[in-house]
């Protein structure tokens, strides 16, 4: 059965305007991002009227090297690459997923920020010119690179309306490519129960028990990949960074979902969720406290997965499924019950390590690069950004909607539909990270690759720099795609995350100046500090526009 397709102008119909009466259940908010019950003030009529009068303005596409915001928004730079977070540690490179957990549920203005550091640009980080094939990396260069990936835990506080880093707070620490972490699995992975480090931490998620999830995406660029041949031999494909020359770690130790305890930084890799280019991991907790975890494999023609735990609050005991979106079925990847898997693999551990092959054997649907996944706080439907698949002629991307049967997240059947999201009619291309705010408006970022943007006569020319958009769900602007921020040159916005009171949007600015080939002449200078080089950074965005969007359901009287 072909999934229903919605045109670019049918966003509201696609989203579904169903209200669930008292609507926004806190448990949905666990799933959609913010882990504490939203702390929204009751506004006076005057305040509501002021926000109601505020006009949402569309920011024009721009190729200017700056972070531009539409009317009603302002930003401050919270953390830049290289900033000290403690006497020992500094903030890593290419920030991606952010999430915030208050230390005390009653105070949304003091808590721990997690930030992914996805990958490095060696020109900036280790002074290694990757365009010169005659130059070999030294171990000192590799060590610098390994320090600059992984993630950061940083305590931040909002003081007089401005977010600030709490320097040297005992929670502040780095997780890097050298941090030891265990596998949450009873069978060793390539002979080991401990892995060294995490890398390519792209997007992530949060658990109902208040820990961070960080997802290993393009892990093969660090230590390469193993190819399992039909004759039983294993072939190694070299990595792009060449770290395996000095650190010969098995590729099988990477490509997992990693959980970090914010309190002590303890990390573990969740084998049960499978090994692939994990973009994100979005959790929902069932009434009996079992969890459902959705995760997409962001590579051309790869798949969408969901794990359903058999025990409360477990990311180990349970079954992994892969989506057949054509027939609306979740296909089990359980070795015990799938004879096709028994023919090819020796046990469940091998299935999970080589889960892409297992998924294809069982007829999973090939998708156009699943990126971020969010659960709509209003309808409970699951949204997956399919960013593009140039090989299949999809340059601008779509959004996939999964409606689980009877709204049950542990259902093994579903209906799917597709919104033709990107394209000139809507003014954006390549949707990537998604975030719902407290009124259920959809915010999203785009990721056109740095080398393809602003190229004359190229498919991405009309869209100029990558941007942040919002699509209001109610009111006079409902269904309109509004650009609210434009990124510095070559950059992509990543990791949008609302503070629990809904008044701040944390956002990463990843890879500004990525196309630089000469350090003395970088293609971007943002954030314009004294070092005169571009620096990936996290910003805190505030303003009337965010406040209006968060109150839109009240202003419009819809909930
Ligand atoms: Fe790291 Fe799929 O974005
Ligand atoms: Ca992404
Ligand atoms: Ca998200
Ligand atoms: Ca992307």
pLDDT digits (tens, 9 = 90+) for 216-229: 999 999 999 999 99
Instruction: Evaluate: CB of 298 within 6 angstroms of ligand 1.
Output: yes
Distance of CA 507 to the CA centre of its chain: 11
| CB count in 10 Å sphere of residue 354 | 20
Question: Which atom from ligand 1 is nearest to the alpha carbon of 369?
Answer: 2
pLDDT > 70: what percent of the chain? 95
The reported pLDDT for the residue numbered 486 is: 98
Nearest CA to 78 out of 502, 542, 519 is that of 542
Residue 270 clears pLDDT 90, i.e. is over it = yes
The reported pLDDT for the residue numbered 47 is: 85
Query: Strand ranges (DSSP E) for 277-413?
Result: 282-285, 291-296, 300-302, 304-309, 318-324, 329-332, 367-368, 370-375, 382-386, 398-404
Q: How far is the CA of 412 from the centre of ligand 1 (A)?
A: 27
For the stretch 339-359, pLDDT in tens is: 999 999 999 999 999 999 999
Instruction: Evaluate: CB of 385 within 6 angstroms of ligand 1.
Output: no
Average pLDDT, integer, range 6-32: 69
Rg of the chain in Å (alpha carbons) = 22
For the stretch 158-210, pLDDT in tens is: 999 999 999 999 999 999 999 999 999 999 999 999 999 999 999 999 999 99
Residue 25 clears pLDDT 60, i.e. is over it = no
**Alpha carbon distances (Å) from 290 to 257, 262, 388:** 18, 22, 33
CA distance 406 to 13: 19
SS3 539: strand
For the stretch 382-397, pLDDT in tens is: 999 999 999 999 999 9
Considering every ligand atom shown, identify the ligand nearest to the alpha carbon of residue 446 and give its number. Answer: 4
CA distance 115 to 508: 8
**Would you give the DSSP letter of residue 361?**
H
Instruction: Evaluate: CB of 302 within 6 angstroms of ligand 1.
Output: no
SS3 504: coil
Instruction: Evaluate: CB of 372 within 6 angstroms of ligand 1.
Output: no
Tracing tokens 């542990």 back to the chain, one arrives at 410
pLDDT band, very low/low/confident/very high, at 238 (cuts 50, 70, 90): very high
Instruction: Evaluate: CB of 279 within 6 angstroms of ligand 1.
Output: yes
Sign of CA dihedral 216, 377, 540, 71: positive
The reported pLDDT for the residue numbered 43 is: 81
Average pLDDT, integer, range 92-111: 94
Residue 41 clears pLDDT 90, i.e. is over it = no
Q: How far is the CA of 430 from the centre of ligand 4 (A)?
A: 8
CA distance 12 to 558: 14
The reported pLDDT for the residue numbered 33 is: 56
Residue closest by Cα to atom 1 of ligand 1: 202
Q: How far apart are the first and last CA of the chain?
A: 35
Q: What per-residue string of b and e applies to 499-530 under the rule 16 or more CB within 10 Å gives b?
A: bbbbbbbbbbbbbbbbebeeeeebbbbbbeee
Q: How far is the CA of 372 from the centre of ligand 3 (A)?
A: 6
Structure tokens at 60: 């024009």
The reported pLDDT for the residue numbered 26 is: 52
Question: Which atom from ligand 1 is nearest to the alpha carbon of 371?
Answer: 2
């Amino acid at each position: 059965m072909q999934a229903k397709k919605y045109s670019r102008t049918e966003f509201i119909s696609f989203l579904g305007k169903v209200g669930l009466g008292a609507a926004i259940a806190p448990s949905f908010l666990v799933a959609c991002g913010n882990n504490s019950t939203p702390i929204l003030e009751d506004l006076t009529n005057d305040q509501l009227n002021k926000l109601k009068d505020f006009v949402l303005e569309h920011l024009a596409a721009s190729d200017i090297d700056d972070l531009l915001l539409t009317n009603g928004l302002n930003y401050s730079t919270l953390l830049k690459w290289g900033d000290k977070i403690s006497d020992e540690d500094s903030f890593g490179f290419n920030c991606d997923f952010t999430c915030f957990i208050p230390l005390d549920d009653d105070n949304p203005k003091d808590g721990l920020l997690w930030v992914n550091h996805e990958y490095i640009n060696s020109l900036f980080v280790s002074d290694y010119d990757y365009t010169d094939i005659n130059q070999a990396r030294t171990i000192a260069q590799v060590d610098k690179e390994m320090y600059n990936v992984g993630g950061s835990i940083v305590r931040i506080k909002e003081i007089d309306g401005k977010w600030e880093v709490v320097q040297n707070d005992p929670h502040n620490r780095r997780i890097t490519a050298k941090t030891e972490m265990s596998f949450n699995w009873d069978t060793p992975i390539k002979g080991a129960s401990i892995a060294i480090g995490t890398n390519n931490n792209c997007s992530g998620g949060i658990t109902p028990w208040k820990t961070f999830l960080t997802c290993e995406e393009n892990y093969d660029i660090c230590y390469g990949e193993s190819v399992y041949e039909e004759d039983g031999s294993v072939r190694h494909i070299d990595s792009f960074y060449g770290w395996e020359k000095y650190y010969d770690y098995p590729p099988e130790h990477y490509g997992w979902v990693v959980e970090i305890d914010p309190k002590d930084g303890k990390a573990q890799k969740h084998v049960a969720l499978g090994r692939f280019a994990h973009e994100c991991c979005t959790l929902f907790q069932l009434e009996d406290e079992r969890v459902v975890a959705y995760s997409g494999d962001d590579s051309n023609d790869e798949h969408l997965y969901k794990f359903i735990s058999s025990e409360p609050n477990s990311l180990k005991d349970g079954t992994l499924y892969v989506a057949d979106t054509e027939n609306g079925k979740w296909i089990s990847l359980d070795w015990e019950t799938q004879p096709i898997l028994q023919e090819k693999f020796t046990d469940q551990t091998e299935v999970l390590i080589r889960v892409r092959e297992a998924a294809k054997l069982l007829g999973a649907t090939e998708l156009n690069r699943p990126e971020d996944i969010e659960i709509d706080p209003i309808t409970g439907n699951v949204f997956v950004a399919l960013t593009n698949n140039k090989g299949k002629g999809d340059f601008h991307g779509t959004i996939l909607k999964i409606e689980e049967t009877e709204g049950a997240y542990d259902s093994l059947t579903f209906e799917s539909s597709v919104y033709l999201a990107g394209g000139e009619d809507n003014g954006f291309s390549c949707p990537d990270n998604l975030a719902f705010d407290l009124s259920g408006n959809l915010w999203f970022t785009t990721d056109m690759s740095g080398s393809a943007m602003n190229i004359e006569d190229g498919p991405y020319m009309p869209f100029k720099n990558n941007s942040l958009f919002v699509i209001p769900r109610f009111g006079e602007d409902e269904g309109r795609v509004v650009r609210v921020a434009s990124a510095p040159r070559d950059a992509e916005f990543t990791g949008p995350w609302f503070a629990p009171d809904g008044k701040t949007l944390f956002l990463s600015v990843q890879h500004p100046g990525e196309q630089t080939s000469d350090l003395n002449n970088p293609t971007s200078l943002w954030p314009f500090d004294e070092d005169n080089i571009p620096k990936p950074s996290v910003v805190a965005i505030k303003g009337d526009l965010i406040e209006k969007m968060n109150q839109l359901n009240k202003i419009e009287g819809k909930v």
